[in-house]
Each structure stands twice: as C-alpha cells, then as structure tokens.
C-alpha cells in the first residue's frame, strides 16, 4: 500500500508486537513504537520476530528492521503521557525526539496484567484514564493523523448483561452515549468507556477520523501466562492431573486469536471514521472448564478439570454479537480455537523446557 508512517502506542506489548507484524505487510516507510517497557518487552528480547540492524540512535530511541521487510522501526522508550505533554509544549522535551506526521495511529497503550491486576490493583489500572486523555489531546491539537484506531474492550459493556442466567450476546448499540450508561467492568472498563467517549469528542469537535474496536477475549501462543488461555495451556502441557482453572470453571468467554484481532483492527481503522465501535470475536461461548478439557483432549492424555475458588474470575459470561463486524468490516475470524490451542501447547512445551513452571 505504500503508507509513509504509522505509530503503535504500547507497541512492545503482546498486542503491539502482533500489530507490528501485521502492519509490516503494508509497506510503511517507518513504523514508530512508543512504550515505557513497564509491561512490554524490549525488541532485543523478541524471540518470535527476526530483529536485524538494531541501532541505538539516542538514549530514548532505538532503530531496527524485522526479517526481509524494508520498513524501519523506531522504538521510543518513553512514557506516552510524557511524550504527549512534551509534544503539546506543556513540559520540557528533555531531548525527546520530535515525532513525524502519521498516516495511522493504533492506540494500544494501557495498563494490563490479567484479572488479578484488574481486581486487586484497580487504581493502577485507572492510570489508563490519564494515558487516554493525554493521547487524545495530543492527536487532536498537534499530531492530526489521517486515521486513529482506539482499542477499547468488551469490558466496557454493562456487567448487568453478563451475569449468571442473564448473559446475552453483546451488541455495539448496548453502549449508548446519548442515553443512560450501564456500569462497566471495574476501573479497566471505566477507562475504556471513557476512551471511547473521548474518541467521539475527537471526531465531533476536532474533525479527526477515529475507529473503535471492542475485542473480546484475545489470546495467543506468546501471551504471558498470567492470562487464562496460556496459563491453562502450560498446565496441560505439563500433563497435570487435575488441571486447575480459576473459580468454578463455568465462566464463559468469547476467545479470538490475536492475529485475527489485529487484522480486524487494521480493517476498522481504514473503514470507520465516526468513532463508532465494532466488536471483535467469534460470537461463541467457551467455558474455562470446556477450554481446559479440549486442551487435554488435543494433548492426548486423561485428566480431570477442577475449579479453584478464591481467585478473581470476572463476569459470568461475556460474548459478542458479530453481525456489525461482518457487515462493516466484511470479515470474520479465521483461526479456529483448536488451531489456537495447538499453537499455545507448542509454545507452552518450550516454556516448560526453559524452566517456566505452571502456577495455580
């Protein structure tokens, strides 16, 4: 496609690395990453991507390429809030480089860490409110990119629609900023709901082109095992019996592979301009117990699955209505759950070989 410049905030994290891989297909001249590495991994430690010609340009900036791609990657090791405020002239730049004009910005930066962090350290997660407000002010006043993708979350949906015996397929119009809003999922849900609202303001008051996606339970083989999918895969790869899942194991999720999620993000960014949202998911409910049982079956041994009470589990059931996704994006996921399980088990075995032990 020959775009000039793209930016991925939070580009060294799990989602960011997969988004980078996806954008390499589109022949950008340069892809910038902003990441403070509080959660993300430095490119020097990326094992799944073939990093070459890595060069430290300044104390803040690293340049490199990946594989045979001609796209140059510029990784700015800095806090996005600090970068945005410096670009706005509100704090000293302190040798931070000036950023170029961007064709597309994929805003992924947020505090993540699984259900344990969401439930047990909610004020740390609440810093996402500051990240998003600084980001939107910068893109509206200074950056003025051609297009912005804001990664919201299914956690923005009202939790009253996800309770035991009351859960239904979640449709985008169930979040209506012109009417009463239901209570989202803890501070993470509130921050994503607020980020969506800021996106609407960026369109209505500042003339930006903004797309919003609400991914459901994204997973991938290289995801950190603080998340359910890789954590269960690690236990199964170790051939544990019983295999532990948190809670009763009956909580249901709509699992979608990260590569599918990134493809949907790119399509949304290039299709949606009015800050309307689109779900990303299969529209299928899989319980944690059923997931573990299928992993055991694919691994080829016999074991029982038991729940572990006293651990954070989130809502009872969360799954998507995918009709708008298919209509607006002309797309649906391609990586089936069994294929995702096989990939996850393969990586889990390599983690075991490296001495990474499963935790309950």
The answer to whether 35 touches 12, Cβ cutoff 8 Å, is yes
* Alpha-carbon distance values, 163 to 97, 116, 264 (Å): 48, 19, 27
Q: Answer yes or no: is pLDDT of 177 > 70.
A: yes
pLDDT recorded at residue 121: 83
**Is 251 inside a domain boundary?**
no
pLDDT recorded at residue 132: 97
Strand partners, 272: none
**Is 56 inside a domain boundary?**
yes
* Alpha-carbon distance values, 157 to 136, 163, 175 (Å): 22, 12, 7
Residues in the chain: 360
Respond yes or no on whether the N-terminal peptide bond of residue 242 is cis (omega within 30° of 0). Answer: yes
Backbone angles phi, psi at 220, to 5 degrees: -170, 160
215-270 pLDDT per residue, tens:
999 999 999 999 999 999 999 999 999 999 999 999 999 999 999 999 999 999 99
Residue 161: CATH number of its domain: 3.40.50.720
Which DSSP category does 95 fall into? T
Tokens 């009015």 belong to residue: 274
The answer to whether 211 touches 150, Cβ cutoff 8 Å, is yes
**Buried/exposed code over 165-195 (b: 16+ C-beta within 10 A; e: otherwise):** eebebbebeebeeeeeeeebbbbbbbbbbbb
Nearest to 136 by CA among 88, 78, 69: 88
**pLDDT mean across residues, the chain:** 95
The count of domains in the chain is 1
Nearest to 246 by CA among 258, 235, 257: 235
Nearest to 268 by CA among 212, 207, 324: 212
For residue 3, what are its two tokens? 């775009």
**Is 164 inside a domain boundary?**
yes
**Is 51 inside a domain boundary?**
yes
Q: Three-class SS of residue 90? A: coil
Provide the sign of the torsion angle of the four alpha carbons 49, 218, 268, 330, taken in this order: positive
Q: Give the DSSP H/E element, type plus range, for residue 56.
A: strand 51-56
Nearest to 251 by CA among 159, 353, 131, 358: 159
Q: Answer yes or no: is pLDDT of 2 > 80.
A: no
Which DSSP category does 34 fall into? E
Nearest to 147 by CA among 197, 191, 207, 201: 207
pLDDT classification of 20: cutoffs 50, 70, 90: very high
Nearest to 13 by CA among 55, 56, 50, 43: 43
CA 212 – CA 192 distance, rounded (Å): 10
> What is the percentage of the chain residues whose pLDDT exceeds 90?
87
**Rg of the Cα trace of the chain?**
20
CA 24 – CA 68 distance, rounded (Å): 10
CA 85 – CA 178 distance, rounded (Å): 31
**Is 301 inside a domain boundary?**
no
Stretch 314-318: mean pLDDT, rounded? 94
The answer to whether 118 touches 314, Cβ cutoff 8 Å, is yes
For residue 69, what are its two tokens? 């791609």
Nearest to 277 by CA among 190, 188, 180, 200: 200
pLDDT recorded at residue 312: 82
335-357 pLDDT per residue, tens:
999 999 999 999 999 999 999 99
Determine the number of helices (DSSP H) and then strands (DSSP E) in the chain.
Answer: 11, 16
Q: Answer yes or no: is pLDDT of 1 > 70.
A: no
**Is 151 inside a domain boundary?**
yes
Nearest to 65 by CA among 75, 55, 47, 51: 51
Q: Which domain holds residue 183?
A: 5-218+256-281+321-334
Q: Answer yes or no: is pLDDT of 3 > 70.
A: no
**Is 288 inside a domain boundary?**
no
Backbone angles phi, psi at 62, to 5 degrees: -125, 140
76-123 pLDDT per residue, tens:
999 999 999 999 999 999 889 999 999 999 999 998 767 777 778 888
pLDDT recorded at residue 280: 98
CA 105 – CA 6 distance, rounded (Å): 6
**Is 28 inside a domain boundary?**
yes
CA 54 – CA 84 distance, rounded (Å): 25
Stretch 153-175: mean pLDDT, rounded? 94
């Amino acid at each position: 496609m020959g775009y000039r410049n793209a930016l991925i905030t939070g580009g060294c994290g799990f989602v960011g690395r997969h988004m980078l891989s996806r954008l390499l297909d589109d022949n950008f001249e340069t892809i910038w990453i902003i990441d403070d590495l509080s959660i993300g991994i430095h490119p020097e430690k990326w094992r799944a991507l073939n990093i070459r010609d890595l060069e430290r340009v300044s104390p803040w900036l690293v340049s490199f390429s990946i594989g045979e791609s001609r796209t140059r990657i510029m990784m700015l090791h800095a806090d996005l809030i600090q970068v945005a405020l410096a670009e706005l002239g509100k704090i000293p730049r302190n040798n931070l480089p000036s950023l170029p004009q961007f064709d597309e910005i994929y805003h992924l930066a947020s505090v993540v860490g699984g259900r344990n962090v969401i439930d047990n350290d909610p004020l740390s997660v609440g810093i996402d409110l500051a990240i998003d407000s600084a980001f939107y002010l910068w893109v509206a006043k200074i950056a003025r990119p051609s297009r912005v993708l804001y990664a919201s979350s299914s956690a923005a949906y009202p939790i009253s629609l996800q309770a035991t015996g009351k859960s239904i397929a979640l449709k985008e119009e169930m979040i209506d900023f012109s009417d009463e809003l239901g209570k989202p999922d803890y501070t993470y849900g509130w921050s994503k709901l607020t980020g969506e609202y800021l996106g609407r303001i960026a369109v209505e008051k500042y003339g930006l082109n903004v797309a919003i996606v609400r991914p459901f339970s994204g997973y991938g083989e290289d995801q950190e095992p603080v998340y359910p999918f890789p954590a269960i895969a690690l236990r199964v790869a170790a051939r544990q019996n019983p295999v532990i899942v948190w809670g009763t194991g009956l909580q249901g999720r709509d699992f979608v592979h990260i590569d599918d999620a990134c493809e949907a993000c790119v399509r949304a960014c290039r299709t949606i301009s009015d800050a309307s949202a689109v779900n990303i998911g299969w529209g299928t409910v899989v319980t944690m117990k059923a997931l573990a049982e299928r992993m055991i079956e694919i691994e080829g041994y016999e074991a029982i699955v038991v729940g572990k009470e006293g651990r954070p589990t989130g809502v009872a059931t969360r799954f998507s209505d995918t009709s708008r996704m298919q209509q607006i994006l002309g797309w649906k996921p391609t990586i089936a759950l069994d294929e995702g399980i096989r990939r996850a088990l393969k990586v889990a075995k390599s983690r075991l070989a490296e001495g990474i032990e499963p935790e309950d």
